[in-house]
Amino acid sequence: MSDELSSPPPELSSEPIEITVEARAHGWRLDHYLCRLYPNYTRVLFQKAIKQEAVLVNGLAAKAARRMRVNDRVSVRLPEMPDNRLPPEDIPIDIVYEDDWIAIINKPSDMIVHPGKGNYAGTLAGALQHHFDQLSDVAGQYRPGIVHRLDRNTSGIMVVAKDNQVHAKLSAQFEKREVQKEYRAIVWGRMEFDSDYLDTFMCVHPRAREKMIVCDEGGNARNAFTFYEVIERYKAFTYVRLKPRTGRTHQLRVHMQHIRHPIVTDRVYGGRIALKMTDVSGEAETAEAEQETDILIERQALHAYCLEFNHPQSGKPMKFEAPLPEDMQRTLAALDKYQKED
């Protein structure tokens, strides 16, 4: 028996969290379902909580192996996390909206959402600890308030939860794919279709474990769906609207690479580390353009532009937008100047 199995029962929170089981979780084991909702907790911890009758299904005690049914009502008192929370960091952040339950943040590029893999300082999580007195902690002490994430070099809109009940309701909306997300991207090449979609499977690259790839169904592959729509075509670039229905790691970046239109200056999937003014001026260079060697953008040209969801407390539909950051605006201005069709 492992040390975790033989250790004392975990301390439990006093406030239960109420969850309604969604259709795609039908047939899942209870302990597996809770692990999917709260990945920071192990299955063993949930099994202990279930034995303590800290997890109820439709008001009754249940076993870890109980299979979920659509619209089951699950009440769970989560195990308390150790009080070794992430230290706050006085980092300026753009707070788009705030009330007693949520905050909306416009995350800059080159900011990691939460600590990991040697990056423990300068994170959004540390900044949130400084700016807000109360945040949810169900995702763990290193992810206060974090309901979803953006890649380090992707900018844009994010929602933050201020308590665990709110966190659970927001997470359920993401799980049920009720949250509408819109991104803006600049990609290489002229896209052929005005709009289209990609419905593929994705998995971890077999050799480069930090990368994802489009793959066949089966094994650990997971479905990934992205709708795209052209906003503006240029001679050698396209400005595009991206609407993911799923939320796989690097999904938009992988999908754009898959159709041979990688996102501009995506170091992992696009092969370029920077875009300069002379890169877009091309054969139409003038004496003025030859002098314009300034870097336009040196991170993936991807921005989380819009987020729509129902307020977790009032149920009111909410919609938030974050304007394009300066580097993407500068790039588009250069494309308008040098890459417009004649």
Token pair for residue 336? 């308008």
Same-domain status, 134 and 193 = no
Q: Looking at residue 313, which CATH number applies to its domain? A: 3.30.2350.10
| Placement of tokens 């906003």 in the chain | 231
Who's near 88: CB < 8 A, 6+ residues apart?
126, 127, 129, 130
Give the model's pLDDT for residue 94.
97
What confidence tier does 4 reach under pLDDT thresholds 50, 70, 90?
very low
CB 335 within 8 A of CB 111: no
Give the model's pLDDT for residue 294.
85
What confidence tier does 8 reach under pLDDT thresholds 50, 70, 90?
very low
Same-domain status, 28 and 64 = yes
> Directed axis angle between helix 30-37 and helix 164-175, to 10°?
100
Q: Is the pLDDT of residue 205 over 80?
A: yes
Domain boundary among 156, 176, 196: 176
Give the model's pLDDT for residue 2.
37
Q: Looking at residue 72, which CATH number applies to its domain? A: 3.10.290.10
Mean residue pLDDT of the chain comes to 88
Domain boundary among 143, 176, 209: 176
Same-domain status, 199 and 322 = yes
Same-domain status, 172 and 187 = no
What confidence tier does 135 reach under pLDDT thresholds 50, 70, 90?
very high
Please report whether residue 81 resides in a domain: no
What confidence tier does 19 reach under pLDDT thresholds 50, 70, 90?
confident
Same-domain status, 186 and 334 = yes
Please state, for a pLDDT cut of 90, what percent of the chain lies above it.
Answer: 64
What confidence tier does 26 reach under pLDDT thresholds 50, 70, 90?
confident
Average pLDDT over every residue of 5-30 = 70
Sheet containing strand 73-76, strands side by side: 17-20, 73-76, 55-57, 60-61
> For 265-291, what is each residue's pLDDT tens digit?
999 998 788 999 999 987 544 545 455
Please report whether residue 110 resides in a domain: yes
Same-domain status, 196 and 257 = yes
Give the model's pLDDT for residue 270.
87
Token pair for residue 326? 């300066």
Give the model's pLDDT for residue 6.
38
> For 139-173, what is each residue's pLDDT tens digit?
877 889 999 999 999 999 999 999 999 999 999 99
Same-domain status, 105 and 232 = no
Structural domain boundaries, residue 59: 3-76
> For 47-62, what is each residue's pLDDT tens digit?
888 988 889 999 999 9
Please report whether residue 85 resides in a domain: no
Active site residues: 151
Give the model's pLDDT for residue 80.
61
Min mean pLDDT across 65-74, 252-261, 320-329 is at 65-74
> For 190-201, what is each residue's pLDDT tens digit?
999 999 999 999
Q: Is the pLDDT of residue 208 over 80?
A: yes
Give the model's pLDDT for residue 198.
97
CB 255 within 8 A of CB 198: yes
Please report whether residue 84 resides in a domain: no
Give the model's pLDDT for residue 52.
87
β pairing state of 275-276 and 94-98: unpaired
Instruction: Provide the domain count of the chain.
Output: 3
> Directed axis angle between helix 30-37 and helix 43-51, to 10°?
120
DSSP structure class, residue 50: H
What confidence tier does 37 reach under pLDDT thresholds 50, 70, 90?
confident
> For 72-98, what is each residue's pLDDT tens digit?
999 988 766 555 567 889 999 999 999
Domain boundary among 148, 176, 204: 176
What confidence tier does 122 reach under pLDDT thresholds 50, 70, 90?
confident
